[in-house]
Amino acid sequence: MSILENRNIIQQNIEVACLKTKRSPKDVNIVAVTKYVSNETTKEAVSAGVGHIGENRIEGLLEKKDFLSEMSVKWHFIGTLQTRKVKEIINHVDYIHSLDRLSLAKEIQKRADQTISCFIQVNVAEEDSKHGLAVKEVLTFVDKLKEYDRIKVVGLMTMAPFTENKEVVRNVFSTLKQLQMDIQKKELPHAPCQELSMGMSNDYVIAVEEGATFIRIGTDLVGKEF
């Protein structure tokens, strides 16, 4: 199927999930994950109406951004960001999905020319293979970020375990949603925390049902080429 057809299927699934939970589909943004596809395929995704592109490689994001310079795109860095690499990417992105330590926050503050919208990465399931803060560490971390005026905590991000057990997946997403609401209640100017980045090709429907506002879709949308 074409990327447009894939996008329409994903959008239909979003609408069903939103209807089930009395949400508006307009609140859910599809981020096309383009690590494994070409510039041309990425352009096809944007032409199909996907306005958000996510890359976890710095060189991939910069290359695609240059290639699509005439198109309206929001750029998301969704991979682990090494502190020493911040200077290469920070002024070329709209969102960072992997803020998880003060050393990274300090470098963003130092290198950013403007306020950067950041998601705090939370390792809800506490998997050794994944980065991110433990749930119990997040509130303290958010409080410390008030010192950095170039960082705006727009939301939280997580990845669920890759499992067929839907209840395990749902619990991870619902835990992140509760944590987001706890932060919102504090009404912090530097951390409005209105967004949730969670859900990928295998679990985005559950993520939307549990409150996701950004879903990161690769295979089901653009497939793989290399």
pLDDT digits over 29-88, tens only?
999 999 999 999 999 999 999 999 999 999 999 999 999 999 999 999 999 999 999 999
Task: Give the pLDDT band of residue 129 (cuts 50, 70, 90).
Answer: confident
- pLDDT higher than threshold 80 for residue 225: no
Count the Cβ atoms, other than its own, within 10 Å of residue 15. Answer: 15
- Between CA 2 and CA 50 the distance in angstroms is 13
* Domain CATH code at residue 204: 3.20.20.10
Q: Identify the band that residue 224 occupies on the pLDDT scale cut at 50, 70 and 90.
A: confident
* Number of domains forming the structure of the chain: 1
pTM above 0.75, yes or no: yes
Q: At CB < 8 A and 24+ separation, what contacts does 133-136 make?
A: 133/100, 135/175, 135/179
Average pLDDT score over residue span 128-150: 96
Angle (CA) 98 101 102, round 5°:
130
- Give residue 85's domain range: 3-222
Which pLDDT band holds residue 226 (cuts at 50, 70, 90)?
Answer: low
